[in-house]
A and B are shown apart, each in its own frame.
Chain A
Amino acid sequence: MEKTIKKQKIGGLKVVEEGACVASSFPGAETRLGADICAPLAQQKINLTFLTHLAGGQGRDSSTVFCTELEAGAGSHTLVETCQGGRGRCRFFGETCIVSLYPHDQHPEITGHFLHSLARARVRVHGLASSPSAISGVISLGSKKRAIHRLFKEFHFPTYDSPAEFYSAQLPPQELVRAVVAQYQEKVIKIYCLVQDLDIDLWEVSIPSSRALEELGGALVDMGGRGFRLPFLVALPALEKNELRVAFGVRAEAPAAQRSAEIEQLLSSHLPGLPARLTTPAAAIFVHGPHFGDRYGIGQTLVEALEQAPVTLLGLSCTVSSISVMIKQQEFNAAVRVLEQTFEVPDCRPVQSRDGDKQ
């Protein structure tokens, strides 16, 4: 019998339908995100509604997942496959949707329950990405109802009492908004805000099953209980194996050795025998809007700038209206410098109390 779950109160839920998803991988540490994926898509003026990337190396491939509108999906897949020239793997998933839950406020338990919900609904996850406020998952359109139903079991939404109420309230086609924002193309791209987060531990695990994803969700819930913050999370299919690569960035006030020991202990209690890989110290840079998911070429501008700097991209997550990048901390100053040169950045710093906003 299923345990009674204490529902998490959450602000909202959004589903973007009529999408397609492409997953690609390159062997080893070869970085081809800019040249073989972002650049050709931008040249064809293809809007990306979702983009995640994880660097390869040490026996792992470099992996990327992106989503487009449904009609651009098959063409995008062909384009990327052609650019890869047989050096990597590429897979196409038609009829997908992006489910986003917000705000997570960097609380791991929110993301943990989200993962737990998708796993319990036995939904195949094509990709996960975090934004500064939301956690998004790409799933097949056919499994949407199952996923939403499960999310309503684990979360309480102030505006919707049931999945039926949620469906009936959805906005008519998103094309209206897309048509408007796609017209907005400046010479130097304006962004709202560039926010940084330092001293992050970037963990990576390979998840072989829904059951393991459920356990990872449980581990994240426990991390929340211990005061950890979760500013970053992505997941991508490892095309060479039947696994999901999950990387997440955590931070806490505790000294580095203590916090990594705690995370190791939590992971091994939930996912015994599953190796976890740590990169530390890492830094996160959050590029806030506007409307990254609706405008082609912005991901390309960012990736190209970082690659030319050169800054090693450990991970990238683009969903809702922001891009989050994880880099090595020693490359942080170079990354900020190049992004400030590339984009028009207003003076915007998070107020100090945000960091002290512990649960």
Chain B
Amino acid sequence: MAKEYILIVDDDPDFVETVSMLLENRGYEVGKAYDAFEGEASIKKRRPDLLVLDVMMPKKSGYEFCKELKANTWTKDIPIMLLTAVGEAVPTTTYSHYEGMTTEAEDYVAKPVDAATLAEAVERLIGR
């Protein structure tokens, strides 16, 4: 059986490497991209079963990218998990989890990510 394919988009290269290791260890196939534009190009080549998407990235934020994907007929059904280091603890931030949810992402996980929480959320979204 083909492995489920997960695309990680994050501008922290060590984090991409780490999450990719965590997910490969759990039997998933993983693709990597370091910003939304690279992510977009990657999705055009191969549609992922799940997109793990960082919020704070240069040029185009994860929220913007998420909105675009959800507005596109071909990509709107790709489950998206947002990763955010900006949360309820910092009310002054320009981002919030609430905004994350309004972008119609299926779930979010706060950074620093707990490995078990991430794995559980991935399994839930991918329907394992």
Contacts and interface: CB of A to CB of B under 8 A. Distances in A.
Given A131-B14, A289-B14, A11 B89 contact: no
Interface in B18-47: 18-19, 21-22, 24-25, 32-35, 37-38, 41
Contacts, number: 116
B86 A177 contact: yes
A192 B115 contact: yes
A102 B16 CA distance: 11
**Chain A binding surface, main DSSP class:** loop
Nearest to A169: B59
A11 B14 contact: no
Q: Which of A102, A192, A321, A348 lies at the interface centre, i.e. has the most chain B CB atoms within 10 A of its CB?
A: A192
Contacts of B32: 11, 103
Contacts of A184: 112
Nearest to A158: B38
Given A12-B11, A190-B114, A192-B18, A169 B58 contact: yes
B14 A12 contact: no
Contact of A159 (B22, B37, B114): B37
B14 A320 contact: yes
Contacts of B18: 132, 192-193, 288-289, 322, 348
A159 B38 CA distance: 7
B14 A133 contact: yes
B17 A132 contact: yes
A195 B89 contact: no
A134 B115 contact: no
A290 B86 contact: no
A334 interface: no
Given A158-B41, A176-B93, A290 B13 contact: no
Given A103-B17, A159-B38, A171-B56, A290 B115 contact: no
A52 B29 CA distance: 34
A178 to B, nearest CB: 10
A134 B24 CA distance: 20
Nearest to B114: A190
A159 B33 CA distance: 11
Interface string B54-73: 00111100000000000000
19 contacts: A12-B13, A12-B34, A102-B34, A132-B14, A132-B17, A134-B14, A158-B38, A158-B41, A176-B86, A181-B85, A181-B112, A190-B114, A193-B22, A288-B17, A288-B18, A291-B112, A346-B115, A348-B25, A351-B24
Interface of A: 11-12, 14, 100, 102-103, 131-134, 158-159, 169-171, 176-177, 179-181, 183-184, 190, 192-193, 195, 288-291, 320-322, 346-351
